[in-house]
């Protein structure tokens, strides 16, 4: 549903630009009932060729591996059986969202659903299809992770697959397309000036950096969400909500509340990737000592209180 307004023309029109026709989608297609069951049977049997199988949502293998927690309506068969059969025929298989990729929220701590992703169970390779699964094009499952994933990630991935432009080197170790996963959500964040000076927000409505006190994981989370904004403009951090690293396996089970930063001796436990703790402590101390008064004041306000200083124009 997050992808409906993809690109400037909507999801289906955006895909059509690359010659992609949606065979069936439960929310976007008119067909239902026996028509869909017949179509799925033909797909599983190979009578209808499938270029790309997209799966949304976690795969529920419970109870006791039977998959009967989630039956495909009208078929009496577990959805996991349908997915496995059609995946075996597909030229490419795409997990849309972190639930389909890694199990996500349905696999959260205490869940009895036995939810897994297509090729991962949390951060552990395997999932429904197994670690060694390869689709017809020789690729593993392509994980367009995120909760929800950015519309651009989905359209770009499907377009690349349709054009046979993907190879194994285009995916990271968790099966995510490197086109977005080689970035961090921190890149391009509108709060980066506050991050640089470690001028931190104390409340959700503050304009300051959300990392030190409010649990933001943008410096650790793969994704270019602040470089290509949602709906042309906007992101989680722009809206005042902390990044919860929703593109990563097991994001749903943090060791602390989502909007609190876990600390040890006053130092955040989740430091930016690639940064040694000693360096972070030294940099933070130096940055805070150099914080301009403007940045310090604005960090604890919900609007700009002190504007940047304007230098007087020089006389000719």
Q: Which residues pair with 263 in a beta bridge?
A: 268
**Tokens 């099966």 label which residue?**
175
Q: What is the pLDDT of residue 163?
A: 94
Q: What is the pLDDT of residue 223?
A: 96
**Chain mean pLDDT for the chain:** 92
CA atoms within 13 A on the CB side of 166: 30
Q: What is the pLDDT of residue 4?
A: 83
- Domain 184-304: give its CATH architecture: Irregular (4.10)
74 within 8 A of 34, measured Cβ to Cβ: yes
Q: CA-CA distance, 137 to 124, in Å (whole number)? A: 23
CA atoms within 13 A on the CB side of 311: 3
Q: What is the pLDDT of residue 278?
A: 76
Q: What is the pLDDT of residue 39?
A: 96
> How large is the average pLDDT for residues 274-286?
76
Q: Is the pLDDT of residue 192 over 70?
A: yes
Label residue 1 by pLDDT band (50, 70, 90).
confident
> How large is the average pLDDT for residues 274-291?
78
Q: CA-CA distance, 119 to 92, in Å (whole number)? A: 13
Q: What is the pLDDT of residue 255?
A: 85
Tokens of 175: 């099966």
Q: Is the pLDDT of residue 269 over 90?
A: no
Buried b (16+ CB within 10 A) or exposed e, 207-224: bbbbbbbbbbbbbbbbbb
238 C-beta neighbours (distance < 10 Å), count: 15
Q: What is the pLDDT of residue 183?
A: 96
For 9-45, how does the pLDDT look when each residue is reduced to its tens digit (9 = 90+)? 888 899 999 999 999 998 889 898 999 999 999 999 9
For 244-266, how does the pLDDT look when each residue is reduced to its tens digit (9 = 90+)? 999 999 999 998 888 898 887 77
170 within 8 A of 178, measured Cβ to Cβ: yes
For 106-164, how does the pLDDT look when each residue is reduced to its tens digit (9 = 90+)? 999 999 999 999 999 999 999 999 999 999 999 999 999 999 999 999 999 999 999 99
Q: Is the pLDDT of residue 316 over 70?
A: no
Q: Output DSSP code: residue 78.
A: B
Residue 92 or 204, more confident: 92
54 within 8 A of 94, measured Cβ to Cβ: yes
> How large is the average pLDDT for residues 285-303?
89
Tell me, which fold does domain 11-181 have in CATH? Rossmann fold (3.40.50)
The reply to whether 11-181 and 184-304 are identical in fold is: no
| DSSP labels, 209-265 | BSHHHH---TTT-B--TTTS-GGGS--TTTTT-----TTSTTTTS-SS-TTS--EET
Q: Is the pLDDT of residue 89 over 70?
A: yes
For 54-80, how does the pLDDT look when each residue is reduced to its tens digit (9 = 90+)? 999 999 999 999 999 999 999 999 999
Name the strands in the sheet holding 52-56, side by side, starting at the edge strand that comes first in the sequence.
52-56, 92-96, 142-144
Q: CA-CA distance, 128 to 253, in Å (whole number)? A: 21
> How large is the average pLDDT for residues 190-210?
92
Q: What is the pLDDT of residue 283?
A: 76
Q: Where are the domains of the chain?
A: 11-181, 184-304
Q: Is the pLDDT of residue 281 over 80?
A: no
For 215-233, how does the pLDDT look when each residue is reduced to its tens digit (9 = 90+)? 999 999 999 999 998 877 7
Instruction: Enumerate residues 6+ apart whose C-beta is below 8 A from 102.
Output: 117, 120, 121, 122, 123, 127, 143, 145, 174, 249, 250
Count of positions (residues) in the chain: 316
């Amino acid at each position: 549903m997050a992808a409906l307004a993809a690109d400037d023309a909507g999801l289906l029109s955006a895909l059509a630009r690359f010659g992609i026709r949606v065979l069936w989608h439960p929310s976007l297609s008119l067909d239902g009932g026996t028509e869909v069951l017949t179509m799925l049977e033909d797909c599983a049997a190979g009578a209808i060729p499938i270029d790309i199988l997209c799966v949304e949502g976690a795969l529920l293998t419970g109870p006791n591996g039977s998959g009967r927690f989630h039956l495909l309506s009208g078929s009496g068969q577990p959805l996991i059986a349908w997915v496995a059969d059609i995946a075996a025929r597909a030229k490419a298989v795409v997990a849309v969202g972190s639930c389909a990729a890694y199990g996500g929220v349905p696999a959260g701590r205490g869940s009895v659903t036995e939810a897994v992703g297509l090729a991962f169970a949390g951060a552990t390779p395997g999932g429904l299809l197994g670690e060694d699964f390869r689709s017809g094009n020789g690729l593993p499952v392509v994980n367009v992770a995120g909760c929800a994933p950015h519309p651009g990630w989905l359209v770009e991935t499907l377009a690349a697959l349709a054009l046979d432009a993907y190879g194994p080197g285009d995916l990271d170790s968790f099966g995510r397309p490197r086109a977005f996963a080689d970035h961090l959500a921190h890149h391009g964040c509108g709060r980066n000036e506050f991050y640089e000076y470690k001028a931190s927000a104390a409340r959700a409505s503050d304009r300051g950096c959300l990392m030190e006190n409010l649990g933001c994981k943008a410096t650790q989370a793969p994704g270019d969400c602040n470089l290509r904004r949602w709906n042309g403009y906007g992101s989680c951090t722009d809206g005042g909500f902390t990044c919860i690293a929703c593109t990563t396996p097991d994001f749903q089970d943090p060791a602390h509340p989502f909007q609190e930063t876990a600390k040890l001796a006053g130092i955040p436990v989740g430091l930016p990737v690639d940064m040694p703790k000693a360096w972070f402590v030294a940099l933070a101390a130096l940055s805070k000592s150099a914080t301009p008064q403007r940045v310090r004041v604005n960090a604890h306000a919900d609007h700009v209180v002190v504007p940047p200083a304007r230098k007087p124009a020089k006389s000719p």
